[in-house]
């Protein structure tokens, strides 16, 4: 019996659509905040299998989500390569920025296996308990991970990143190549530990020009998917090129993914015409509609269900759930989808 989400990624229009939410384990849940309070820092939570397993499973238990996404972070990869990383309250992630060849040369892929070992243990534990839900492993895409590594954290325009891509394309390519190879190792290890689907988060894909998008989003994604499929032919991959706009169609067609995450800004009824038929669409409720609840949540949800009906579709948000989301709005959303 194939699980519902995996049927959709195989090209079947399952109705009502299987549902999970990006960042479904997180601060909006009181049971998450309780674990977080005695876990120490965020990286410790990600690398303590007992706690990471517990928080991964919390939203599946509470809501019966169709997927459990490994509790970890896309910035675990630079951390595992030896770049410093801290999560500061109210400030987000902070890393010592990489701006030159010496910074790239200091990254050490030999550290990776040891550093990710506890995360793989979490994958094994979750898989043993996940039941009918699908276990999704994940990584950031090389480009989005490079964004944080080069800026040293978040940014409103990623000026250093785009500057390096234009001014020193050889150095930028070296960093992306290193990240592409490390991502293959990391995701292959998650698959071997029990991840049934893997997702690549490319949150900042939309800041790039079309030329740079093709070079630094589409091409590395294609390489990662091909390498994973060479090792594990049946693995299903979801790519999320956030704010890709009109380029979402060629991204879907050229990278080899089975599903494509659609961000809040895209109209699913138009995206249907761009993305090849057999490729699943995942998305794309506005996280703020989930905060609002009530009639706004209902009409936005119905519009998405109607726009994707007949296509392989995984219901999700268009970006991550935010901490101020009332947990009962998530329950209301799932009730609405299941009654559709």
- Stretch near ligand CP3 under the rule CB under 6 A, chosen from 10-18, 70-78, 262-270, 290-298: 70-78
208-267 positions binding ligand CP3, by CB under 6 A: none
| 23 part of the active site | yes
Does 23 count as an annotated binding residue? yes
Q: According to CB under 6 A, which one of 5, 8, 9, 22 is a site residue for ligand CP3?
A: 22
For the chain, the three-class secondary structure string (H helix, E strand, C coil) is CCCHHHHHHCCCCCCCCCECCCCCCCCCCHHHHHHHHCCCCHHHHHCCHHHHHHHHHHHHHHHCCCEEECCCCCCHHHHHCCCCCEEECCCEEECCCCCCHHHHHCCCHHHHHHHHHHHHHHHHHHHHHCCCCEEEEEEECHHHHHHHHHHCECCCCCHHHHHHHHHCHHHHHHHHHHHHHHHHHHHHHHHHHCCCEEEEEECCHHHCCHHHHHHHHHHHHHHHHHHHHHHCCCCEEEEEECCCHHHHHHHHHHHCCCEEECCCCCCHHHHHHHCCCCCEEEEEECHHHHHHCHHHHHHHHHHHHHHHCCCCEEEEECCCCCCCCCHHHHHHHHHHHHCC
Q: According to CB under 6 A, which one of 174, 320, 332, 336 is a site residue for ligand CP3?
A: 320
Q: According to CB under 6 A, which one of 17, 26, 78, 261 is a site residue for ligand CP3?
A: 26
- Stretch near ligand CP3 under the rule CB under 6 A, chosen from 73-81, 117-125, 173-181, 254-262: 73-81
Does 26 count as an annotated binding residue? yes
Least CB distance from residue 287 to ligand CP3, whole Å? Answer: 10
Does 83 count as an annotated binding residue? no
Does 73 count as an annotated binding residue? yes
- Stretch near ligand CP3 under the rule CB under 6 A, chosen from 86-94, 100-108, 122-130, 298-306: 86-94
Q: How do strand 236-241 and strand 259-261 relate by DSSP bridges?
A: parallel
CB closer to ligand CP3, 40 vs 294 = 40
121-140 positions binding ligand CP3, by CB under 6 A: 138
- Told to check if 93 binds ligand CP3 by CB under 6 A, we report yes
Catalytic residue among 28, 63, 148, 251: 148
β partners of residue 69: 136
CB closer to ligand CP3, 30 vs 273 = 30
Q: How many residues bind ligand CP3 (CB under 6 A)?
A: 22
Q: Are 271 and 262 in contact (CB under 8 A)?
A: yes
- Stretch near ligand CP3 under the rule CB under 6 A, chosen from 2-10, 25-33, 212-220, 273-281: 25-33
Q: Are 262 and 308 in contact (CB under 8 A)?
A: no
φ/ψ of residue 327, rounded to 5 = -55, -30
Q: Is the peptide bond before 339 cis (omega within 30 degrees of 0)?
A: no
| 36 part of the active site | yes
| 32 part of the active site | no
Q: According to CB under 6 A, which one of 201, 213, 251, 315 is a site residue for ligand CP3?
A: 201
- The residue sitting closest to ligand CP3, measured at its beta carbon, is 203
| 272 part of the active site | no
- Nearest residue to 140 (alpha-carbon basis) of 87, 92, 90, 198: 198
Instruction: Report the alpha-carbon distance of residue 318 to residue 285 in Å, rounded.
Output: 5
Does 263 count as an annotated binding residue? no
Does 324 count as an annotated binding residue? no
29-68 positions binding ligand CP3, by CB under 6 A: 36, 42
- Stretch near ligand CP3 under the rule CB under 6 A, chosen from 69-77, 124-132, 219-227, 307-315: 69-77
User: Which positions touch ligand CP3 (CB under 6 A)?
Assistant: 22-27, 36, 42, 69, 71-75, 87, 92-93, 138, 154, 201, 203, 320
Q: Catalytic positions, please?
A: 23, 27, 36, 73, 148
Binding residues for substrate, by number, are: 23-27, 73, 148, 203, 319
């Amino acid at each position: 019996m194939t699980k519902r989400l995996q049927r959709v990624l195989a090209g079947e229009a399952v109705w009502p659509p299987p549902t999970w939410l990006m960042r479904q384990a997180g601060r909006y849940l009181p049971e998450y905040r309780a674990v977080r309070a005695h876990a120490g820092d965020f990286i410790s939570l990600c690398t303590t299998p007992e706690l990471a397993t517990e928080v991964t499973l919390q939203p599946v238990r509470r809501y019966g989500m169709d997927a459990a996404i490994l509790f970890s972070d896309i910035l675990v990869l630079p951390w595992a390569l030896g770049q410093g990383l801290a999560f500061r309250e109210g400030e987000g992630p902070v890393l010592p920025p990489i701006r030159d060849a010496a910074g790239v040369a200091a990254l050490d892929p030999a550290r990776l296996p040891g550093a990710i070992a506890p995360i793989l243990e979490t994958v094994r534990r979750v898989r043993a308990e996940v039941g009918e839900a699908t276990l999704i492993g994940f990584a950031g895409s090389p480009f989005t991970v490079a964004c944080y590594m080069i800026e040293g954290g978040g940014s409103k325009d990623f000026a250093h990143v785009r500057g390096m891509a234009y001014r020193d394309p050889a150095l930028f390519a070296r960093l992306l190549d290193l990240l592409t190879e490390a991502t293959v190792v990391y995701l292959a290890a998650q698959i071997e530990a029990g991840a049934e689907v893997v997702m690549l988060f490319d949150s900042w894909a939309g800041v790039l020009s079309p030329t740079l998008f093709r070079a630094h989003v589409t091409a590395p994604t294609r390489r990662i998917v091909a390498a994973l499929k060479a090792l594990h032919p049946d693995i299903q991959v979801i790519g999320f090129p956030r704010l890709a706009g009109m380029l979402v169609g060629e991204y879907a067609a050229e990278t080899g993914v089975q599903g494509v995450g659609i961000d809040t800004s895209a109209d699913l009824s138009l995206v249907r015409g761009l993305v090849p038929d057999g490729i699943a669409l995942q998305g794309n409720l506005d996280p703020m509609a989930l905060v609002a609840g009530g009639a706004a949540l209902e009409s936005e949800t119905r519009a998405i269900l109607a726009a994707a009906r007949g296509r392989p579709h995984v219901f999700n948000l268009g970006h991550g759930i935010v901490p101020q989301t009332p947990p009962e709005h998530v329950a209301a959303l799932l009730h609405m989808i299941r009654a559709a």
